[in-house]
Chains A and B, each alone.
Chain A
């Protein structure tokens, strides 16, 4: 179940960082202004229909039209615009280049996530999950591999489109540790509604340790072996999936080097455990119809479990 769409308070009302905070504040103020203006209009309508004659005459007078129709909206809307632009200036401030960078690529129907080093090389490849340190801005390089997607983790920022052939930058920041759901916010075909994402904010030391551990694993050989690994290689999984330190080097589907430590399967939609791994591999089409992974219903239950056991060890 995509977390960004559920829960209380709704994620859009519960900002966890400065870039989401200003958007939420602006939305509340605009809503408040809208309610106030609606109340004034309804009151004027009541006066026009049922009010005493003296008030009716005033309402129809030239003075009221100048004040209520020109001066009030002119002043209020100008003030709101100036205040709103100042409030959200941080969203479009120049990116200094010192921030940590993560490339997030929209794919039909999942997110490729690559942590970049200072030279822009991929340090850690992962999918459908973004880990970030608390209290530090992180710059996301948003791209698309196919159609237009939109990246949205409501706790952390507004939406930003992922456009084929372009890199758009989005700054996010979490000010408290936690797990924040995200979603693709631009219709991108078939299982678009099941294209989710999870962002996880750690304390800064925790995060550095996490990233270093993942980077070490990318350079090492894959843990575990036996029947599951053999079955994975023999069933053709490697044509689409990469597991670092093995011959599996397919790039069409999500990188599975760390799949065992991910919180979700199927792009932010299923919890990750041995049972859901088996269900996903065995018949992903019944879970996420139209996704690009075929259902491996030609495998026996034992073979599915062997693969799941091996994948669980890929952390």
Chain B
């Protein structure tokens, strides 16, 4: 799928280059993070057991259903339907959800703020369209 997407992407870029229209592709991802940070995020997710409640692309097991699935997370709107979707907000939310979104039923998780940033990097890096 990704390869096909790339071909279309290239075709569109070619179209632009030929001056067919003043089109501009949206960036593939709004934020990019380095692979090391995303990798650390993945380890934090496994150690904290986030997947006990959330289906998370790239984590084979478990695929909990008590919380929402995070498949396609790169394309969602506001975080938990509430917070502006920025890495800083996401890091705040995954570490201490009730503080970031009053009334959230996701509990605070035992991770440091540095680890929370890594988790946010992993979640933004999910590309499963």
Contact = CB atoms under 8 A, between A and B. Distances in A.
Interface in B12-40: none
B52 A270 contact: yes
Contact of A283 (B64, B107, B110): B64
B52 A287 contact: yes
Contacts of B106: 275
B42 to A, nearest CB: 13
A1 B60 CA distance: 11
Nearest to B64: A279
Task: Give the interface residue-count category, chain A.
Answer: 20 to 34
Interface string A165-196: 00000000000000000000000000000000
Interface of B: 46-50, 52-53, 61-67, 105-110
B46 A275 contact: no
Tell which of A265, A273, A305 has the most Cβ of chain B within 10 Å. Answer: A273
A274 interface: yes
A271 B51 CA distance: 11
Interface of chain B, main secondary structure? loop
B64 A286 contact: yes
A125 interface: no
Interface in A257-315: 265, 269-271, 273-276, 278-280, 282-283, 286-288, 297, 301-302, 304-305, 308
Contacts of A302: 105
B105 A305 contact: yes
A276 B108 contact: no
Given A271-B47, A275-B106, A305-B107, 12 more contacts: A275-B52, A275-B109, A276-B48, A276-B53, A278-B53, A278-B107, A279-B53, A283-B64, A286-B62, A286-B66, A287-B64, A304-B66
